[in-house]
Amino acid sequence: MSLTPVQRAWAVLWAAFVSFCLLTYGVASGVPWLLQNTTAELRLELGGSDTQFQRPGLNILEVINGPPVTLPVGSIILTDLNAQANLQIVVPNGDVTLATVQIYGDSRVQVQAADRPRFPEYSDLPYYIRLRVERGRIRVLSANGLPRPVNIEVYSAPDVLTVLDQPGSNASIESSFLRTTVSVRESQAAVTTPLSGTLTLRSEQRADVTDSGAIIGPLPTERNLILDGTFERPLGEVWKVEQRADSGRPLGEVRVQTVEGRRSINFSRADNSWGQVGLTQELNVDVRDFTSLRLQLDVYLTSQSLFNCGALGTECPVMVKIRYLDFNGSEQGWLQGYFDRGRLIESQGQFGLFTCPSCSEITEQHIPIETGQWLTLEAPGNGNLLALMRERGIPAALLRSITIYAAGHQFNSNVAQIQLLASD
């Protein structure tokens, strides 16, 4: 049935009235919502040498070789093995730095979000920063004394979320495909995984997240840089086996062995010629802002045929060598040996040395120890390898590898519980 002109007029009036009411309500509620929730991007300033970055949507890498550059949100930052980058996150109007992100060597980090309220006088939203650490290590420092909170989220494998939302937060996040380590130097951080829920870390605490997503912590900030220091995994998976000998002479043996209930690695050889056997683990850990580094290992020495550590001071039945890069990118090393006290000759000569004058690594006197018992040894004497390297004028920037080995003619030794303990 068609409407009469009067009915049609009333329908138009009612429709106009309803539209007016909806429009009035929409404006009254929508404008405050827009003022509260509309955001704009913060400014990202990236500095550093040997640092690459990739802008969103582009497949080319650009290199920083000069003053800091301004990046768009969504950019990916990549550092070389011995490089370090510095990312400043700044409020454009007023140039207030909200947070600083130090990006260490061999890292790949994406800035996924960096937002501020567009109308700060009408909004109580915090500054919001979201990062993803695909690999490597970063340190995040948020500013103190800001009128508005800074909420920083860091995503890493395996499905880990670290939230820093307190003023003055200072925390490092290190990530690989297998695990994430979060260490808090100041303030606090909340670490969350789907498996374990949320763990809040306070100052001087750390958490390790396993490949299954389990959170282990809170732990002391000192952490072990060595993987599989108890030799649970098959040799060759984490530790690379090395065996050398004079041409045509038999090689020594490397095997996992249990001695007095302690799982260990055994180095053995029975020949009157030179040979060397050992294990090497690649580390590639940036240690530029670590405060200390100390080595601990358990040693059980059974026998050796040479006096001291051989004619050149290079043939101890237990030796530890750490390779590292200094701040100039040059290869350096530190070396420590342990030998049988019963084979000690106090006057060094052609029969054996307990120093290594020809070694290029930082080395002091090798240490005589008792045989037939487990001994827990710590090096260096002052308990801090980083301090020792600084004292020698060649401080460490990046740890490359650690090698545990035995050298000489005839020897039999065991090593267990290898730890390289770093304080963040």
- pTM for this one? 0.69
Express each pLDDT in 133-174 by its tens digit. 999 889 898 888 888 899 999 999 889 999 999 998 889 999
Rounded to a whole number of angstroms, the distance between the first and last alpha carbons of the chain is: 83
Express each pLDDT in 197-238 by its tens digit. 999 999 889 999 998 899 998 988 888 899 999 899 999 999
Give the pLDDT score at 400: 94
Residues of the chain predicted below pLDDT 50: none
Give the pLDDT score at 4: 75
> What are the start and end residues of each CATH 2.60.120.1440 domain in the chain?
39-220
Give the pLDDT score at 182: 93
Give the pLDDT score at 30: 61
CATH architecture of the domain 39-220 equals Sandwich (2.60)
**Residue 22 burial (CB count, 10 A):** 10
Given the candidates 2.60.120, 3.30.70, 3.40.50, 2.30.30, the CATH classification of the domain at 240-423 is: 2.60.120
Share of the chain residues as helix, strand and coil, in percent rounded to the nearest 5: 10, 55, 35
Give the pLDDT score at 7: 67
C-alpha to C-alpha distance for 307 and 318, rounded to whole angstroms? 14
CB distance 277 to 267 below 8 Å? yes
Give the pLDDT score at 39: 75
- Number of helices (H), then strands (E), in the chain: 2, 29
Which class for 28: exposed (0-12), middle (13-18), buried (19 or more C-beta within 10 A)? exposed
